[in-house]
Structure 1
Amino acid sequence: MSQEKLSGFVETAARESGLPGAAVGVLTGEEEFHACYGVTSLADPLPVDGTTLFHLASVSKTFTATALMRLAAEGKVELDAPVRRYVPELRLSDERAAARITVLNLLNHTAGLDWNLIDPGEEDLSLAALAVKLADLEMIAPPGARASYSQAGYNLAGLVVEKVTGLPFEKAVTSLVLEPAGLSNTFFDLDDVMIRRFAVGHNRDGDGTLRPARPWKAWRAGWRADNPGGGIVSSVSDLLRWARFHLGTGEGVLPAEALRRMRERTVELRAGTLGDAFGICWFLREVDGVRTAGHGGSGNGQFAELLIVPEREFAVVSLANAGPDGGPFNQAVVRWALEHYLGVVDRDPEPVPHDEARAREVAGRYENDAMNIDIAADGLALTLAAGIKPEIRGASETEMPPDHPPAAIGLLPGDGEEYIVTEGGLKGQRGFFTRDDGGAIVGVDLAGRIFTRRPAAS
């Protein structure tokens, strides 16, 4: 596969998606291919290149997990130990859960914690304050009962790193992972970012106009407590180096066996676009008979995707600086690269014809601690809208990413509990509905997160 074909695809897809800029990298064996498109910012444009910094959002979790795996390999952390061994001040809404949650529960999203704390309060933006503030977060399942993607869980994992090393989390990850892996263009601190070329996120107004996204990191500038789950900044060149590290032996950082363990299934996932199972941090998925491990990230107008295929010594990275189309663009890049470099074809399942009775059964409002999902049936189609809760948006002192307007979804063959989004910024996302013991729909999963159904108004 030629460099020209990759560059041509990226340019065409980025233009069609209306992106200001994008950076893509492919690693196949010892060869690397880069394709950069467009500009860092519409307001102050500079060409995107291989060293341009993007906010990686949740791809940060791969660094946090790797740091904890190094501490485990050194005998300083036990993955099956309760978190309270390392964070004795941990408080949760359920005391029994607080005593039972293990480090592994945090790393594979089975702690039972809801998605995230939205506002840490004005008085303390640190990880140290997190253990106490987590008492305000709802428990959505008993520890170990099932997986539900949790930003709060990874931020708590970062506090474990901080406690065990005695260093600020960011310095600990730098010394444990970034420096020995040779990642010289990967940072947490905005002071490091601002003296280098970096991409500005963009969001679309209601009229379709792209505008710079503020704050640069969502949700809130300066909140260090969100760094373990979503605070890292890097370039396509460094992310390919990071992929090469995880495809290799881990020399100087981790035993090869520890890297392999991160890619072993720890809990199964159902009907998810992101994966069939969680390893340690990684979403694991079989595509066209080939096993992959990956992680994505969505920040404020910036989107990142990293996928590795260990058995083929292959990786693809895609970074984009506009929402909501950056996410579907990244997914299109990953699929194109898998097909054109490996001959691996990833196709969405086809929904069944619209069934109004089944559609009305699942229609309603669903919520977690931060967001609402509204699923509506109008007789012809079933739609899904997702947005930040109005009370949270109204109380915020900074701009937040725009909501996802209603977009068509289709129910998949089978029992009618699985679905796929077929248009809009969430296009391709899959999930499923959950029932109680009486058979009533009580929840929906989207992007690995649980949303509970709100009772209908009487």
Structure 2
Amino acid sequence: MGDVILRVLIVIGFVSVCEAAPAPRDKPVVFETSSLPELAGSFDQFFRQELAKANVPGGAYAIVQGDRIISIHGYGVREQGGTEPVDEHTVFRLASVSKTFAAGLSAKLVEEHKFSLDDRLVSYVPEFRFKTDHKADRLQLGHLLSHSAGVMPNAYDNMLEANVPLPRIITSFKKVDPLCDPGECYGYQNVLYAMIGPVMEQTTLRTYENLISDMIFKPLEMSNASVGYQAFLHSENRAAPHVRTRKGWLKTKVKPAYYEVLPAAGVNASVSDMAQWLIAQMGHRPEVMSAGVLDSLTEKKIRTKKELRRRDWRNYLKDAYYGLGWRIYQFGKEQLIYHGGWVAGFRADVAYSKSRDVGIVILLNAESNVINRLSTRFWAEIMKSAI
């Protein structure tokens, strides 16, 4: 078994900032007045049908174009057997979609010269070491946010799930060596990704919770959004997690494990919150997310060939990369910026097209693969002429 047991999970997740001036952002394609609303109407029907077919307790979605919400709805119930409905303000766990926030916050702090993504991790976390001592010295902050640290995928997630304290998990890396040099291969991480948190806190003398609230949630008026386990439990309008059993979907307890890694999996939000996040990602809130920040997030850093085999997505994907906290998909002939999240009892998908200036977010309170059909159906319709 070696020195340590590493469990590889399939996570659906979801660039260092260039010194040169960022390239101009793509000019959005303008839809005909009736086309997107018509598509939104047919998607709404499809969404309800698919949730009913899969018996998913509840879900919500929002479609945005430019700086406007075109359609936003919640369906079903927050808890199986309950009566309280899911609405646009119902809070879900975002799981790995949280990585998009950590990357965006990091890029903003880089823009403010708080740190550089070329900085070495050991400059901020000196106790971090690999088995071969000098190999840790090569690891840069940009490698954390692009999952290109070279470490075996999902390293020590099993310890997270066993509620092992994060400091102890960090020191466990001294028992292993990377599979490749940093920047050379892709390996999805939660523990390593979360190491950007201590960097932010040391360079700003503020907590991660305060930073994300003051720099992202509040200016974007994400009024239901929060970070952490206790914050989720304190949300009155929150969805309960559900797992599949032989008898159907069963409500389960909210597990605190992945809240240990806030930048990787610690954000809670409603679909109305996520609509504002999408609008900002698409360039319509430059006072919060500048063009330079957005371009740095979606620069291709490492190829992720495994994504090409994803259920439902494989029918459309031609290539796949990871940037900073976002996946960059070649969906037919067009580029799609995407991330997914999956944690006990919840699924989340968020994606947008720069060229078409359209985005969608889907949140479910059950671990259902129906989310893949929902997302791919939407984008197949949007990009029909380019597939």
Q: What RMSD, in angstroms, separates the aligned Cα atoms of the two structures?
A: 2.4
Question: Is contact 1:57–1:231 with CA below 8 Å preserved after alignment?
Answer: yes
SS at match of 2:261: helix
Question: Is contact 1:111–1:143 with CA below 8 Å preserved after alignment?
Answer: yes
Question: Is contact 2:280–2:289 with CA below 8 Å preserved after alignment?
Answer: no
Whole-angstrom CA distance in 2 between matches of 1:271 and 1:164: 35
Partner of 2:238: 198
SS at match of 1:311: coil
Partner of 1:266: 301
Partner of 1:277: 321
Q: Does 1:295 align with 2:318?
A: no
Whole-angstrom CA distance in 2 between matches of 1:75 and 1:225: 27
Change (3 A) 1:120 1:209: closer
Q: Which amino acid aligns with 1:146?
A: C
Change (3 A) 1:31 1:212: closer
Change (3 A) 1:55 1:260: same
SS at match of 1:33: strand
Partner of 1:416: none
Aligned residues: 337
Q: CA deviation at 1:343?
A: 3.0
Change (3 A) 1:137 1:254: farther
Question: Bigger shift: 130-139 or 5-14?
Answer: 130-139
Question: Is contact 2:160–2:257 with CA below 8 Å preserved after alignment?
Answer: no
Q: Which amino acid aligns with 1:6?
A: F
Under a length normalisation based on structure 2, what TM-score does the superposition of the two structures give?
Answer: 0.80
Whole-angstrom CA distance in 2 between matches of 1:70 and 1:112: 25
Alignment of 1:3-402 (within 5 A): 3-29=40-66, 30-114=68-152, 115-117=154-156, 118-119=158-159, 125=165, 131-136=170-175, 139-193=178-232, 194-205=234-245, 207-214=246-253, 216-217=254-255, 221=256, 224-248=259-283, 250-273=285-308, 276-323=320-367, 326=368, 328-343=369-384
Change (3 A) 1:170 1:311: same
Q: Deviations over 1:319-359 (max 9, x none)?
A: 11122xx2x2212111222233443676xxxxxxxxxxxxx
SS at match of 1:152: coil
Q: Deviations over 1:77-114 (max 9, x none)?
A: 11112112222232333322211100110011111223
SS at match of 1:276: strand
Partner of 2:27: none
Change (3 A) 1:167 1:122: farther
Q: Deviations over 1:399-458 (max 9, x none)?
A: xxxxxxxxxxxxxxxxxxxxxxxxxxxxxxxxxxxxxxxxxxxxxxxxxxxxxxxxxxxx
Change (3 A) 1:238 1:121: closer
Whole-angstrom CA distance in 2 between matches of 1:161 and 1:96: 24
Q: CA deviation at 1:72?
A: 0.6
Q: CA deviation at 1:294?
A: 0.6
Q: CA deviation at 1:284?
A: 0.4
Whole-angstrom CA distance in 2 between matches of 1:316 and 1:174: 23
Q: CA deviation at 1:300?
A: 0.4
Question: Bigger shift: 91-100 or 113-122?
Answer: 113-122
Whole-angstrom CA distance in 2 between matches of 1:45 and 1:344: 42
Question: Bigger shift: 186-195 or 128-137?
Answer: 128-137
Whole-angstrom CA distance in 2 between matches of 1:231 and 1:107: 15
SS at match of 1:151: coil
Whole-angstrom CA distance in 1 between matches of 2:90 and 2:49: 20
SS at match of 1:238: helix
Structure with the larger strand share? 1
Q: CA deviation at 1:230?
A: 0.7
SS at match of 2:226: coil
Whole-angstrom CA distance in 1 between matches of 2:260 and 2:174: 15
Whole-angstrom CA distance in 2 between matches of 1:119 and 1:271: 24
Whole-angstrom CA distance in 2 between matches of 1:172 and 1:310: 27
Whole-angstrom CA distance in 1 between matches of 2:360 and 2:132: 41
Q: CA deviation at 1:124?
A: 7.4
Whole-angstrom CA distance in 1 between matches of 2:361 and 2:161: 35
The structure having more radius of gyration, on CA atoms, is 1
SS at match of 2:62: strand
Q: Which amino acid aligns with 1:110?
A: S
Unaligned runs of 5+ in 1: 347-458
Whole-angstrom CA distance in 1 between matches of 2:366 and 2:160: 27
Question: Is contact 1:264–1:280 with CA below 8 Å preserved after alignment?
Answer: yes
Whole-angstrom CA distance in 2 between matches of 1:225 and 1:7: 35
SS at match of 1:272: helix
Q: Deviations over 1:267-321 (max 9, x none)?
A: 2222424761111121101112111111000010110000011111110111111
SS at match of 1:293: strand
Q: CA deviation at 1:260?
A: 1.1
Q: Deviations over 1:228-273 (max 9, x none)?
A: 1111111111111101101015533343112112111112222424
Question: Is contact 1:73–1:255 with CA below 8 Å preserved after alignment?
Answer: no
Q: Which amino acid aligns with 1:196?
A: E
Q: Deviations over 1:196-223 (max 9, x none)?
A: 2111111122x23321123x13xxx266
Partner of 1:454: none
Q: Which amino acid aligns with 1:278?
A: Y
SS at match of 1:241: helix
Q: Which amino acid aligns with 2:235?
A: I
Query: Using CA pairs below 8 Å that are at least 6 residues apart, which structure has the higher relative contact order?
Result: 2
Q: Which amino acid aligns with 2:261?
A: D
Under a length normalisation based on structure 1, what TM-score does the superposition of the two structures give?
Answer: 0.68
